[in-house]
């Protein structure tokens, strides 16, 4: 009797995994084709764009760069300078000192001749108390504003910056990112191009700066990182940005814009109440909430994406740092999906409800769990000597080939579209990484993901009630704040 149930379960699981692997293949092929089409269209469009014009045109929208800094004393001055030297007409740079313990603020004050102003700060979005707003006595730094506030985390710092951002578009960036001079003009373009839909946000590609030569804020010479972990992230970023996000952009289903480099319509960010500081996945959560807002108010909208290499960042090549990052990512994903679970399979939310959300729940959030189950399943089949174990081993082999194919294609896309890694050797190193990645690094990533799940269940963050109920409406986020304050 029990053995019968056991076999039945085995059968059901078997069919589940088969359907899943079929879906995976289908999704990857569709993704590959969609992203190729989108990339082609983007390159075609780029041929007809004169980016020089945007810099000076009075029609171009203004941009407020909002960059939180926490204990960045070492590089903050250099970073601020390179932000100020971006090629663009109407823009301001707002750097938020998020209660740094080091001399971040002092360094800024000294380098830019700052002085505390009597700025009338308006807490439109709730955030930790602002201690002071600094401006420069020197006219040539008039674009720079510094907020000094009590520590409240990245999302809170961004909110405090958004409160005083005066331009139409907010660019939320990590202060240590290296931005190309062209980054503003290129990222602003999708906002200007759309006629029938409102562009709520535009995401960009993050490049990996490890081991590259950087000069005047642009990467002048690309080299792949020295460690395998670094190289793995190069191909992973290609896959995520040039494949995944390009494909989602094509069907206007993009749900995540990197927190390190994202552009938003200020008015809308204010309308939905800014970032939600209680989650570790604040970047994704904001995009989802903004999309919900548009769907709930039935305004046609678009989330844009620019695949040009414009922003670079140093990624962790240290395993423990990387594991914490991945742990955070998966928790952020779980939290965001939980918060917005009323979107799931809800036709009211269009592509997001019917495609993006389910995709994220299965293939991003639950991926580590499913992978583990699959492995256990095959293991059990082998132990009980079930013949179908062979099928599953074959399936694994095929999935491995699929991952090779997908990754190789994403490298190919990069080669065709931008060709940044010019050295033949670099390409060889990347291909080697592609081959070994599923065996050496992928299991670790799965493991970190699982730990993220466990940490989430253990309740890191401690706001269980909120996550259980979730946001019934996009504007619930504002009520949430009112509750905590009272």
Partner 1 sequence: MKKRFIQSLIFFSFSVFWTNSSFAQDSLPYTDSTSFYNFLELQEEIPSFKFRYKITSENPSPELLNDSSLLFVIDEQGVYLSKAFEKYSTWYQAGENYLLKDESIIEPDFLIYDSPSDYNAARDYVDNLWRNKDIFITEKKPEVGDVLVILANLVPYEPLVKYRFHFFSDFKLILVTSIIGFFLIMAIGMILYMIFIKGRAAKVEAKEKIFESQIVGPLSILLFEKTEEEINSLSETEIFEFFPEKDFKKLHFKHVLINKIISLNKKMKGDFKDKLKALYKKLKLDEISIKKLNSKRWDIVTTGLVQINEMDLVEALPQVQTLTDSSNFYIRSQSIATLLNLSEKVDLTTIKKQSFPLSRWQQMNYLRIIKFLHIQKSIQLETLFEGKNQTIRLFGYKLVGLLGRVDLLEKLAKLAPQVADIEKIEILKTYQTIGVHTESTFINKCLRSDNIKLVVAAAKASGQVGDQVSAHILIELLNDDPGFELKMIYLDNLRKLDQSMYQQYVATKNDKELNQINAHLLDPLLQHV
Which residues form the interface with partner 1 (CB under 8 A)? 4, 7-8, 11, 14-15, 18, 21-22, 25, 29, 32, 44-45, 47-48, 50, 53-54, 57-61, 115, 117-120, 122, 124, 135-137, 139, 142, 145, 166, 189, 191-196, 387-388, 391, 394-395, 398, 401-402, 405, 409, 412
CB of 312 or CB of 409, closer to partner 1: 409
Give least dist CB 18 to partner 1, A: 5
| Residue-level length of the chain | 486
17-20 own/partner pairs: CB under 8 Å, 24+ apart: 17/374, 17/377, 17/392, 17/395, 18/395, 20/370, 20/374
CB of 272 or CB of 334, closer to partner 1: 272
CB of 23 or CB of 484, closer to partner 1: 23
Stated as kind and residue range, the H or E segment containing 257 is none
Residues 6 or more apart whose CB falls under 8 angstroms from that of 169 comprise: 61, 62, 63, 64, 188, 191, 263, 264, 265, 266
CB of 124 or CB of 226, closer to partner 1: 124
Q: ∠ CA 22-28-30 to the nearest 5 degrees?
A: 100
Q: How far apart are CA 70 and CA 96, in angstroms?
A: 8
Q: What are phi and psi of 200, to 5 degrees?
A: -90, -30
CB of 260 or CB of 405, closer to partner 1: 405
Give least dist CB 422 to partner 1, A: 16
Residue 151, burial from CB neighbour count under 10 angstroms (0-12, 13-18, 19+): middle
Q: Is the CB of residue 189 less than 8 Å from the CB of residue 148?
A: no
Strand pairing class (63-69; 91-98): parallel
Give least dist CB 135 to partner 1, A: 4
CB of 405 or CB of 431, closer to partner 1: 405
Q: What is the DSSP letter of 392?
A: H
Give least dist CB 92 to partner 1, A: 8
CB of 228 or CB of 412, closer to partner 1: 412
Give least dist CB 452 to partner 1, A: 29
Give least dist CB 397 to partner 1, A: 9
CB of 321 or CB of 376, closer to partner 1: 376
CB of 46 or CB of 227, closer to partner 1: 46
CB of 137 or CB of 422, closer to partner 1: 137
Q: How far apart are CA 395 and CA 384, in angstroms?
A: 19
Q: Is the CB of residue 67 less than 8 Å from the CB of residue 174?
A: yes
Give least dist CB 391 to partner 1, A: 4
CA 32 from chain center: how many Å? 20
Which of 92, 97, 94, 136 has its CA nearest to residue 114?
A: 136
Give least dist CB 388 to partner 1, A: 5
CB count within 10 Å of CB 267 equals 12
Helix, strand or coil for residue 142?
Answer: coil
164-175: burial string, b at 16+ Cβ within 10 Å, e else: bbebbbbbbbbb
CB of 3 or CB of 215, closer to partner 1: 3
Give least dist CB 318 to partner 1, A: 35
Give least dist CB 118 to partner 1, A: 4
Q: How far apart are CA 165 and CA 147, in angstroms?
A: 11
Q: How far apart are CA 217 and CA 78, in angstroms?
A: 9
Helix, strand or coil for residue 173?
Answer: strand
Q: Is the CB of residue 142 less than 8 Å from the CB of residue 136?
A: yes
Work out the widest C-alpha separation in the chain, in whole angstroms.
Answer: 84
Stated as kind and residue range, the H or E segment containing 34 is helix 2-47
CB of 300 or CB of 459, closer to partner 1: 300
| Strand ranges in 26-99 using DSSP code E only, listed in sequence order | 63-69, 91-98
Give least dist CB 390 to partner 1, A: 9
């Amino acid at each position: 009797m029990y053995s019968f149930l056991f076999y039945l379960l085995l059968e059901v699981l078997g069919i589940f995994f088969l359907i899943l692997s079929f879906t995976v293949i289908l999704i990857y092929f569709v993704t590959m084709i969609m992203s190729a089409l989108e990339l082609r269209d983007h390159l075609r469009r780029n041929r007809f764009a004169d980016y020089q014009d945007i810099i000076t045109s009075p029609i171009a929208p203004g941009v407020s760069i909002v960059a939180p800094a926490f204990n960045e004393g070492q590089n903050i001055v250099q970073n601020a300078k390179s932000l100020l030297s971006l090629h663009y007409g109407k823009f301001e740079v707002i750097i938020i000192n998020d209660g740094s313990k080091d001399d971040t603020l002092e360094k800024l004050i000294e380098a830019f001749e700052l002085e505390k102003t009597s700025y009338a700060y308006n807490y439109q979005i709730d955030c930790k108390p602002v201690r002071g707003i600094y401006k420069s006595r020197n006219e040539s730094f008039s674009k720079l504003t510094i907020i000094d506030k009590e520590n409240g985390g990245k999302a809170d710092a961004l909110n405090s910056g958004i409160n005083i951002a005066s331009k139409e578009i907010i660019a939320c960036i990590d202060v240590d990112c290296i931005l190309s001079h062209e980054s503003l003009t290129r990222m602003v373009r999708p906002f200007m191009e759309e006629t029938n839909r409102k562009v709520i946000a535009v995401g960009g590609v993050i490049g990996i700066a490890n081991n590259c030569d950087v000069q005047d804020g642009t990467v002048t010479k690309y080299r792949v990182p020295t460690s395998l972990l670094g190289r793995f992230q190069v191909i992973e970023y290609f896959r995520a940005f040039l494949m995944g996000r390009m494909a989602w952009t094509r069907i206007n289903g993009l749900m995540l814009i990197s927190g390190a480099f994202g552009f938003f319509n200020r008015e809308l960010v204010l309308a939905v109440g800014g970032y939600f500081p209680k989650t570790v996945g604040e970047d994704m959560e904001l995009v989802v909430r903004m999309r919900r807002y548009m769907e709930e108010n039935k305004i046609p909208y678009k989330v844009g994406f620019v695949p040009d290499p414009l922003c670079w960042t140093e990624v962790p090549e240290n395993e423990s740092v990387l594991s914490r990052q991945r742990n955070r990512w998966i928790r952020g994903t779980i939290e965001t999906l939980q918060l917005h679970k009323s979107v799931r399979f809800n036709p009211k939310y269009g592509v997001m409800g019917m495609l993006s959300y389910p995709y994220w729940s299965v293939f991003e959030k639950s991926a580590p769990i499913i992978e583990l189950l699959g492995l256990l399943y095959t293991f059990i089949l082998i132990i009980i000597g079930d013949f179908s174990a062979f099928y599953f081993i074959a399936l694994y082999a095929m999935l491995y080939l699929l991952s090779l194919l997908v990754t190789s294609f994403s490298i190919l896309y990069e080669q065709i579209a931008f060709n940044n890694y010019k050295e033949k050797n670099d390409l060889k190193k990347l291909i080697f990484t592609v081959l070994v990645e599923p065996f050496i690094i992928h299991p670790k990533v799965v493991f970190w993901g699982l730990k993220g799940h466990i940490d989430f269940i253990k309740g890191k963050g401690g706001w269980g009630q909120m996550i259980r109920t979730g946001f019934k409406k996009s504007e619930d986020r504002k009520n949430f704040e009112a509750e905590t304050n009272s």
